[in-house]
Amino acid sequence: MLKILANKYTITFVVFLVWMAFFDRNNFLYQRGNLNQLKGLEAEKQYYTEQIALNQTNLNELLTNQETLEKFAREQYLMKKENEEIFVIIEKKKPIVKSFWQKIKERFSTLI
């Protein structure tokens, strides 16, 4: 067994593996990080592809259906017909509760 471990080819192979695993520019950790980043980007690509398809169907609906177009214009741009009143109802949002450190940070940022 010692003879096999002392073989120059075995030692060279082990040194090569250690070099490739930890010291090379494209080591295993770097490759693993790139693989994780690739998976995240593919998921993001899928999300945006679905959003594009959804927006295409909404656009097609707006361009073909007059009632949908009118509803969109009323809701998004507050358009109205003549002699018509619009009431905009805005719901109250809960106040954001700030942490102790955020309050201190704001206090010191106003002093500077």
Picking from 100, 80, 78, 99, the residue whose alpha carbon sits closest to that of residue 89 is: 78
CA distance 73 to 84: 15
- The whole-model pTM stands at 0.52
Confidence at residue 44, expressed as pLDDT on a 0 to 100 scale: 95
CA distance 106 to 84: 45
Digit-coded pLDDT (tens) for 16-62:
888 888 887 778 878 888 999 999 999 999 999 999 999 999 999 99
